[in-house]
Amino acid sequence: MKTATQRAPTFFLAVAVMVIWTMATTTTTLAAPPALQGQITLRPLTPQEIYDYGLTGVQGASGLSTMGVGQPVYLEVLVNNAVPNSDITNVSWTLTARPIGSTAALEASPLGPNIPTYKIADRINQSGAPVFKVAGRTMLRPDVVGSYTVSASIRTGSSGNTNLTQRVTASTYLGVNASCVLCHSGGIIAPNRYTNWIETAHAHTFEKAISGQSGDYFSASDVVYRTEGNDGNTNSNNSGFDYVATTNGWTFPPTLNGNNWTTMPEGLKNFANVQCESCHGPGYQHVFGSLPVLGDTNYISVSMNVGTCAQCHDSRTTHALATSWNTKATEWGNSGHARSPRTPSGPGREACVRCHTARGFATFTATGNQIISNTVYEAITCAACHDPHSATNAHQLRATEIYTLPEGTTVTNVGNGALCMTCHHSRNGSATENIQKYKLNQPTWAGGTGFGPHDSTAGDMVEGVNAITYGKVIPSGSHSAVIPNVCVGCHMQPVATSHPAFAKAGGHTFSMTYNVVNAGVTNTLDLVDTCVKCHGPIEGFNFARKDYDGDGVIDGVQTEMQHLLDNLSRLLPNSTYRADGNYVADGLVKNIDRNTVKTNWPTKFLNGAWNHMFVNVEGSRGVHNAPYAVGVLKASIADLTGDANSDQLPDSWQIQYFGSASTPQAAPNATPAGDGVPNWLKYALGLNPTIPGLVVPDGVVWANASSTGGSTDTIRIYTAAEISFDTEVGKAYQIQAVSTLGGGWQNIGAPIPGTGQSVSYVTPTRSNAQQYYRVMHTP
């Protein structure tokens, strides 16, 4: 083993070792060439991938830019997926710099074209559309300590050309007690990471396993997951656990007991457990690479890439505990977090990245800063939510127990769900404040003046806050009070390996639905295992509860909620709203979003739009909090129509005559006067529903809301037909009628010239048993 003074200095030699990857012609060139968007990535390779792709004998990699001497570095060039393969003429690789004494050369990568790039967000976006594709691969195995520079050249026919470089640092392991603790345990030299880390499970994972405290499944093949630098490569010396174990004569014990750790050589303990260099790469160059300066951060890796964690937490089929810690990366890969949208990142998105990038979220939870300077995109990975350096919170979460929503409500019973609510809330503060500021074109959130809540409002919804309530008390459901850890209790429910939803729903997928393919047909199912504990034997979320929309049919709760959303949208303007007094509601179902809503809308419409968006973007369609979602939608509908119970009769009319809108006598089809005429018809005719009409041979007669009749009366009520239709200027409209379908249409009245307005025409039907009508127009 080399001593520190014998390590090779970091000087570079220029070399020209080239590997060429030529893409096969599979597509035709697009008329408008897409942007190339070329980039070099360091690809992780996990145990599960090695198993899945049959890469026998291939060594894994963390994807860090700092690795141990002798460990492989898998490099790949990515390009915009829209660039046709036929347009990529070649990708060439060159090792342009390496340390003195190195004979390393680029090699063909063992990863074939069938293996996709590692990051899910590089494969597909949130909608499932392709993003990047691999245009070329190579591999480097550094042989001495120092820095290496790899260059890639991409040439295309019409999408442009680019040259890219990637520096990697090869180093050796020092162990936490021999190096990291000296600077990172307090003081002014470097941040204190050691004090909190030593309390984490990672810091003692090998110690407990070798002592028999983690179960009897632990074997020699598992040592690699609980130590650092244990790469099994006997052709290199990077001072990892396996090398030090060999030099100390240590072998895996035949039985697991407490004496195993006690008798282990101290020098070997220094490389045991999951410690700093397990996640940041070997630290010799970081400490000594820039002598006399110590601790050069250019020679150590700080990555939010999930590939680092997946070196241990991605082994769903090759480990006995397939439902525990080692399936998390697989689950996460099937989550929306794995492909969070890129748009809210990059320069100009300093107010967005606190929830849309891993680094932004970690910084936000640590500092509380609303504006984050580092806007580089990285999906919401393990390190976004879990702090690897601290065991202060359960599961090393970055937030837990208590959360204050932006509108001001402090939630004290949320448990681990506090982390979820940190992003899954309305973002824009209180609803009333948002509306007031929007009308004045003032900032409504950090970085913008947009209207409405942000995706997703789940935190507000489950707690029953931050909708427009019109001064009413809106009931709220019990989920937030009875489900442990609220969001986590359902969305992260454990799923057995035998369940068809395994790794597709629950756990770190955070999903409550999963797909099952049967005979070529894909069916989407709901994960209701947790729900049945309270709701009984249901098969999905859309189970029937009540007739929330008042249409006389009890549909599933999610269907009922969609109907209420549609009913509210019919009452709201479209984006062409006119404030000159000539506005007429179109009565159409429409999409209500921040692009639809305009500052010239009256407050009543803005209130309704907020509640529509609040329920719509939340996404669960009543599952999170049905009483609250129903209540706020009905409150908006009532405010715009005066019909809170959605029975198509104004509440004020029902209260006027019956004292309440909910009494059975006030129902639309009720006939409280006993004359057989329902309330809805009496309302339409402007009649008092409590006064009966006089039943006569040809109908029912009212006069000034009182009945008239008698043997000498000659009043008769006959039927008529009203034909109503819209017209256009420049066209003429002719009403026609026929008593039986099949021909012989007769004109009714003279042609009507179009005015651009609606026309209503009433024609008698006294002598006809039945009549059909149509409207023809010319031209």
pLDDT in tens, 180-193: 999 999 887 899 99
Supply the pLDDT for residue 7.
Answer: 41
Tokens of 685: 């005719």
Question: In sequence order, which residues have a C-beta less than 8 Å from that of residue 484 and are 6 or more positions away?
Answer: 415
Contacting residues for 190 by C-beta, under 8 A, at least 6 apart = 183, 184, 295
Provide the phi-psi class of 537: left if phi over 0, else alpha when psi is between -120 and 50, else beta.
beta
The pLDDT score that the predictor gives to residue 345 is 96
> Mean pLDDT lowest for which of 72-81, 137-146, 228-237, 606-615?
228-237
Return the exposure string of 468-478: e unless at least 16 CB atoms fall within 10 Å of the residue's CB, then b.
bbeeeebebbe
Bridge partner list, 515: 524
| Distance in angstroms (rounded) separating the CA atoms of residues 764 and 81 | 67
DSSP 528-558: -TTTHHHH-S-SSS--B---TT-SS---BHH
Straight-line distance from the first to the last Cα atom of the chain, in angstroms, rounded to the nearest whole number: 96
Report the C-alpha dihedral over residues 58, 60, 66, 67, rounded to 10 degrees: -60
Lookup: tokens for 533: 């504990």
Alpha carbons 317 and 166: distance in angstroms, whole number: 34
Confidence of residue 701 (pLDDT cuts 50, 70, 90): low
Question: Could you read off the pLDDT of 685-696 as tens digits, one per residue?
Answer: 788 999 887 766
d(CA 1, CA 239): 7
pLDDT at 712 over 70: no
**For residue 320, pLDDT beyond 50:** no
Phi, psi of 315 (to 5 degrees): -150, 55
Domain boundaries, the chain: 4-171, 178-281, 652-701, 720-778
Output 24-32 pairs: Cβ under 8 A, ≥24 positions apart: 24/85, 25/85, 25/86, 26/84, 26/85, 26/86, 27/84, 27/85, 27/86, 28/84, 28/86, 29/84, 29/86, 29/87, 29/157, 29/158, 30/82, 30/84
**How many angstroms separate the Cα of 331 from the Cα of each of 117, 352, 503, 510, 719?**
17, 26, 5, 8, 67
Burial class (CB in 10 A: 0-12, 13-18, 19+), 190: middle
In a 13 Å sphere around the CA of 232, the CA atoms on its Cβ side amount to 11
Smallest Cα–Cα separation from 403: which of 414, 388, 389? Answer: 414
Sequence-separated (6 or more) residues with CB below 8 Å from residue 98? 12, 13, 15, 104, 142, 146, 148, 149
Mean residue pLDDT of the chain comes to 89
14: confidence class by pLDDT, cuts 50, 70, 90: very low
Q: Which residues contact 39 (CB under 8 A, 6 or more apart)?
A: 77, 78, 132, 164
pTM, to two decimals: 0.83
Position 698 pLDDT exceeds 80: no
Smallest CA-to-CA distance from 241 within 257, 266, 224, 256 is with 224
Which secondary structure element, helix H or strand E, spans residue 680, and what is its range? helix 679-685
Q: Are 43 and 61 in contact (CB under 8 A)?
A: yes
pLDDT for position 764: 75
| Lowest mean per-residue pLDDT among 172-181, 313-322, 439-448, 666-675 | 313-322
Instruction: Output the CA torsion sign for 256, 258, 262, 266.
Output: positive
What is the C-alpha radius of gyration for the chain, rounded to an integer number of angstroms? 35
